[in-house]
Structure formats: C-alpha cells, structure tokens
C-alpha cells in the first residue's frame, strides 16, 4: 500500500520529482567521483610508500661484499626507523635494465653490468624517518648518489589531504542543498494537497499516516538519485580507464574491483535514503503542523 | 453515551458560541440539533470530535472525558464519530469508490475486505452503479450519499451530520434524512445539525434546539414511520 501511495505521490508531480531526483543525482555523483578519487589517491600513496623511498647508488661496476652490506644494514636497523632494506647488485641491476628495455635492442647492446651501479633501496617506517636514514646512507663509504622520494610522497600526501578537504566541503554544501531542495519540493506537494490532508485529518488519520507518504517520496528521490549517480560514475570510470591506465603506468590501481563499486553503491543508497528522508521529514515537520 | 455537562465555548475574539449547555444522548438515538445560523450547532459537532476543546464544562463520550483525551487518541475518536459535511468534503480527483475507501485505508483495513465493504455501503446508499464516477459527475444528492457512505463504511458508533441537506433540493434533502434514519435503525447513533425545521418536523425525532449558544428546547417527538 505504501509503495503504491509513494508512486502515486511521485507521479502526481513529475517535474517536482525530476528536480528532486536531479539534485540528489548531482550530489551523489560528486560523492561517487570524490570517493573514487580518494580511493585512487590512497592506493597511489600506498604504492609510493611501499616503494623504496631512498636509493643509494655506489660506484658503477663495483659490488659490495656481504660484510659491507651487513654492516650498513645493522647501522640502519639500529636507528629503529628502517622498514625495508634491499641490496641490488650490478648483475641484478643489469637484469632489471634489460627487462625494462627488452623492446629496444640498441639500448641493450650499449649497456652491461660493468657500467651499472649496485644500490641499496630502503624505506622508512614513516615519512619523518627518511631524512635520518638518508643521512646515515650518505656517510657510507662508496656512495656516489642518493635518490630521495620524500618530496614526492609528501606532496602527494598533501594533495590527497587537499582533495579530501575540498571534497568534504563540496559534498557538505551539496548535501545541504539537496536536503533543502527536497524540503521545498515536498513542501510544495503538501501545499497542493492541503485539502486532501485536511479531509484525512477529519476522517481520523494519524499524523504518521499523513506524513509517511511524503517522507517516502523524499526517500524515493534519494534512491533513484543514488542509482543514477552510481551508474553515471561507473560509466565515467569505464570510459576513462584506458587514459587512466596509461597515466598510472606501473601503479596497480585498475581495474577498480567490482566489490568496491558495489560497496560504493551501498554507501550511496544509504546516503541517498538519508538525504531524502531528512528532506521529507523536515518538510512534514515544517508544513504539516497539527 | 454522549454527555455534555455545563459546556461553554468562548473563542479568542470573545464570541461565546455555547453557554453552559447540558444534554445526554443515548446509544442508538436519532437527534436533530436545530437552530439558526450562529446558534452553536457546528461548535457542538466540533467539540464532539475534539476539533476544539470547551472553555468550561465536561464532554463525555462512552464515559471518556474528551478534555483528558491524549492527542494520539483523537484519530480513533474521529473514526468512531464520523462526520458528514454540507460541502461533502470529497476529493475531486478520486472516484466514488476511492473516496469511500479512504476511510478504510486510514483505519488500516486489508485490501480484500476494503473492496467488500465499499461495495456493501454503495448498495446501502443506492450508488452501486456509480462507483467509478468522479464527484464532478454526480448530483448534490448523490454527492451527499457518497459522503454518508464514507462515514458509515468504517462501522462507526456515531454519525454526525452538519447541515447535510444545506445544498440540496427538498426532495433530495428528504431522501438523505431517510437514509440517516435507515442507518439509525441499524443501532448507529445519528446526530443531524440543521436549520431546516420543516424537514425535521416530518421525522418526529428528538430535537435539541439551540439559540445564542443555549438550549431552548429538548423534546422527543413521536416516531417517524417510513
């Protein structure tokens, strides 16, 4: 009965309904996009954080002895800040080089392990550990160059925080706007059905019997908006996947797991229902005084 | 069943609609409430359905003091004391059946039972062929019969009618009052407020006359025989 009543309510005012659905779709689409961006950013950050953050290169063609490697490792570990440690010999460097350039025979001919340096790749427990670990590596004998990723990770981290901040602000603004638009739309519907409401009261309808169809109408707007927004964001993601894959290169982000997208849908449905229910509830509180 | 004890109603602007009136109506009684416009008939009806509260005095319906009735109990009271209006109060975008069924929807009656009961009352008010008509397609007498059908479909204990014949020609008005009498014969208490004294005289029922908010006559006449 309630589904039928809600459907009648939505059908009676198609343009108001369209406005309600469109505004919730916009809000939830923005939420979808920011959720996907946040998810992607966090994955990218994790990728960079798990990658070696400091690489110390030694003289080309010269490998370290096991004792030298063990000494350096022991020194770094004594700081309590070391997370990962890996020694890459000149032979391993050659293999990596060859694998990366396997499609370019000319480059393969020009390079062998004699001109490639051995290296030590490390990562810290936190970003704050990196300057200390870098200083410890700099003082090691035979170190010729140090590559340091702290700046990349830090700027990426601050980008993500900015995106989250802006996203939260925009989502907050649009959420309030959606609730207010639904409130006004349902308020208009209540005003146009004033006679019916009055008759229902005279016939002995309870306050909730009168209110519920309007709240359910708000929820219906939220639900429809959620589905449309999720569908649009999924299409947008699929459409931009080739371009994103090219841009992300080795970062293992795509394809986005279906389960994750279903979780996004679930979240959006809950959020859509909350927006619609709140808009509807506030409208009935405001316009249906006993 | 219904007891008014020294009931006074004053409005915010100082108008006194009722002045210390007292009367009792027994279960299954048929009562005409008569008097000129502004005598207080509608106020009595509204007080009975808790559309307003008295300024002084007590109103009891089945031993329940309406002054002490909680807000959440009011819908149940209104479902038990239903009302027919002079302007019918029907929804023009709903059919006769839908208008009548609205009362049952509110009471939470299941769909199957709803259809049965609506068909039953349509027969009682002799509108079984007009169930799918919209109010705009009906005459004044038919509209009032739809209003009556809506009022009785929930099997209330009391039916109140406020000037139910006000918009009808004499013939249709008489038919409507006959219908109320038929409903009354099935042990439903009926209270009809009207200023049409000529019509009331044809029925020989109990008459409570109000003037300027006071009861000026409360008399039982010989029974009307259809």
By percentage, how much of chain A surpasses pLDDT 90?
A: 34
The reported pLDDT for the residue numbered A33 is: 87
Alpha-carbon distance A1 to nearest alpha carbon in chain B (angstroms)? 9
The reported pLDDT for the residue numbered A184 is: 92
Instruction: Please indicate whether, in this complex, the C-beta atoms of B78 and A206 are within 8 angstroms of each other.
Output: no
The reported pLDDT for the residue numbered A1 is: 67
Helix (H) or strand (E) holding A178: helix A150-192
Among the listed residues A218, A264, A274, the one whose alpha carbon sits nearest the alpha carbon of residue A30? A264
- Chain B, nearest residue to A199 by Cα: B89
**For residues A124-142, average pLDDT:** 83
Contacting residues of B for A203, CB less than 8 Å apart: 78-79, 82, 102-103, 106, 150
**Sequence ranges of the domains in chain A:** 2-48+154-287, 52-148
Question: Is this complex's ipTM strictly greater than 0.90?
Answer: no
Q: Say which residues have a Cβ less than 8 Å from residue B181's Cβ, sequence separation at least 6.
A: B30, B190, B203, B205, B224, B226
Is A209's Cβ below 8 Å from some Cβ in B? yes
Q: How confident is the model at residue A109 (pLDDT cuts 50, 70, 90)?
A: confident
CATH for A52-148 (3.30.70.3040, 3.40.220.10, 3.40.50.1820, 3.55.40.20): 3.30.70.3040
By Cβ distance, the residue of B90, B106, B111 closest to A200 is B106
Which stretches of chain B drop beneath a pLDDT of 70? 221-226
Residue B17 lies in a domain: no
Alpha-carbon distance A233 to nearest alpha carbon in chain B (angstroms)? 40
Q: What is chain A's length?
A: 290
Measured distance CA(A280)–CA(A8) in Å, rounded? 16
Residue B6 lies in a domain: no
Q: Say which residues have a Cβ less than 8 Å from residue B192's Cβ, sequence separation at least 6.
A: B30, B31, B32, B33, B161, B164, B177, B180
- State how many domains chain B has: 1
Residue B9 lies in a domain: no
Alpha-carbon distance A196 to nearest alpha carbon in chain B (angstroms)? 7
The reported pLDDT for the residue numbered A39 is: 82
Residue with tokens 């008010």: B125
Q: If you write DSSP's letter for every residue of B134-174 in order, what string do you get?
A: -GGGS-HHHHHHHHHHHHHTT--SEEEEESTTTTS-HHHHH
Q: pLDDT tens digits for A228-241?
A: 999 999 999 889 88
Q: pLDDT tens digits for B118-161?
A: 999 999 888 989 999 999 999 998 999 999 999 999 999 999 99
For residue A131, pLDDT over 60 is answered with yes
Residue B21 lies in a domain: no
Q: Say which residues have a Cβ less than 8 Å from residue B55's Cβ, sequence separation at least 6.
A: B8, B9, B10
Contacting residues of A for B150, CB less than 8 Å apart: 203
Domain span including residue B75: 29-51+69-219
Q: pLDDT tens digits for A24-44?
A: 898 889 888 888 888 888 777
For residue A52, pLDDT over 80 is answered with no
For residue A155, pLDDT over 90 is answered with no
Instruction: Please indicate whether, in this complex, the C-beta atoms of A206 and B107 are within 8 angstroms of each other.
Output: no
Is A206's Cβ below 8 Å from some Cβ in B? yes
The reported pLDDT for the residue numbered B226 is: 41
Instruction: Please indicate whether, in this complex, the C-beta atoms of A290 and B71 are within 8 angstroms of each other.
Output: yes
The reported pLDDT for the residue numbered B66 is: 93
Among the listed residues A131, A144, A136, the one whose alpha carbon sits nearest the alpha carbon of residue A64? A144
Instruction: Please indicate whether, in this complex, the C-beta atoms of B77 and A204 are within 8 angstroms of each other.
Output: yes
Contacting residues of A for B106, CB less than 8 Å apart: 200, 203-206, 209
For residue A7, pLDDT over 80 is answered with no
Residues facing B16 on adjacent strands: B10
Mean pLDDT of chain A: 86
Alpha-carbon distance A269 to nearest alpha carbon in chain B (angstroms)? 30
Query: Phi and psi for B10 in degrees, rounded to 5?
Result: -115, 140
Residue B2 lies in a domain: no
Q: Which two tokens stand for residue A45?
A: 């950050």
Is A192's Cβ below 8 Å from some Cβ in B? no
Q: pLDDT tens digits for A70-99?
A: 999 999 999 998 888 999 999 898 888 888
B128 DSSP 8-state letter: G
Alpha-carbon distance A203 to nearest alpha carbon in chain B (angstroms)? 6
The CATH number given to whatever domain includes residue B150 is: 3.40.50.300
To the question of pTM greater than 0.80 for the whole model, the response is no
By Cβ distance, the residue of A195, A199, A204 closest to B79 is A204
Among the listed residues A190, A177, A284, the one whose alpha carbon sits nearest the alpha carbon of residue A225? A177
Helical axes A207-248 vs A194-203, angle rounded to 10°? 130
């Amino acid at each position: 009965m309630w589904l039928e009543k809600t459907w009648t309510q939505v059908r009676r005012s198609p343009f108001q309904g369209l406005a309600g659905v469109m505004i919730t779709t916009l809000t939830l689409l923005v939420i979808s996009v920011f959720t996907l961006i946040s998810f992607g950013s966090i994955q990218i950050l994790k990728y960079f954080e798990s990658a070696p953050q400091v690489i110390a290169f030694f003289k080309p063609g010269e490998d370290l002895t096991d004792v030298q490697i063990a000494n350096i490792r022991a020194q770094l570990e004594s700081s309590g800040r070391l997370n990962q440690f890996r020694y890459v010999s000149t032979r391993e460097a050659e293999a990596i080089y060859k694998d990366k350039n396997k499609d370019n025979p000319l480059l393969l001919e020009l390079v062998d392990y004699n001109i490639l340096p051995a290296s030590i790749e490390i990562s810290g427990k936190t970003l704050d550990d990196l300057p200390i670990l870098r200083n410890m590596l700099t003082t090691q004998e035979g170190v010729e160059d140090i590559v340091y990723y702290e700046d990349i990770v830090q700027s990426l981290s601050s980008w993500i925080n900015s995106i989250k901040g802006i996203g939260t602000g925009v989502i907050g603004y649009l959420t309030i706007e959606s609730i207010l638009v639904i409130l006004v739309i349902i308020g208009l519907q209540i005003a146009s059905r004033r006679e019916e409401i009055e008759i229902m009261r005279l016939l002995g309808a309870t306050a909730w019997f009168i209110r519920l169809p309007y709240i359910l109408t708000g929820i219906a707007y939220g639900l429809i908006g959620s589905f449309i927004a999720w569908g649009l964001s999924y299409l947008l993601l699929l459409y931009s996947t080739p371009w994103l894959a090219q841009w992300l290169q080795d970062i293992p982000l795509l394809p986005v797991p279906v389960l994750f997208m279903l979780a996004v849908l679930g979240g959006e449905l809950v959020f859509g229902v909350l927006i619609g229910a709140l808009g509807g509830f506030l409208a009935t509180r405001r316009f249906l005084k006993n | 069943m219904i007891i008014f004890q020294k009931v006074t109603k004053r409005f915010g602007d100082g108008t006194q609609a009722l002045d210390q009136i007292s009367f009792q109506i027994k279960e299954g009684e048929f009562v005409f409430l008569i008097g000129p416009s502004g005598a207080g008939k509608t106020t009595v009806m509204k007080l009975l359905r808790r559309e307003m509260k008295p300024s002084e005095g007590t109103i009891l319906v089945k031993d329940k003091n309406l002054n002490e009735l909680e807000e959440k109990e009011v819908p149940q009271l209104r479902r038990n004391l239903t009302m027919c209006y002079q302007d019918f109060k029907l929804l023009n975008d709903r059919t006769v059946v839908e208008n009548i069924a609205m009362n049952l929807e509110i009471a939470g009656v299941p769909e199957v039972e709803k259809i049965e009961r609506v068909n039953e009352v349509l027969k009682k008010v002799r509108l079984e062929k007009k169930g799918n008509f919209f109010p705009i397609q009906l005459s004044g007498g038919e509209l009032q019969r739809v209003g009556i059908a809506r009022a009785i479909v929930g099997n209330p204990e009391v039916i109140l009618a406020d000037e139910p014949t006000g918009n009808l020609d004499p013939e249709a008005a008489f038919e409507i009052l006959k219908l109320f009498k038929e409903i009354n014969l099935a042990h439903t208490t009926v209270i009809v407020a009207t200023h049409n004294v000529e019509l009331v005289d044809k029925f020989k029922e109990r008459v409570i006359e109000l003037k300027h908010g006071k009861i000026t006559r409360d008399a039982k006449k010989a029974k009307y025989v259809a």
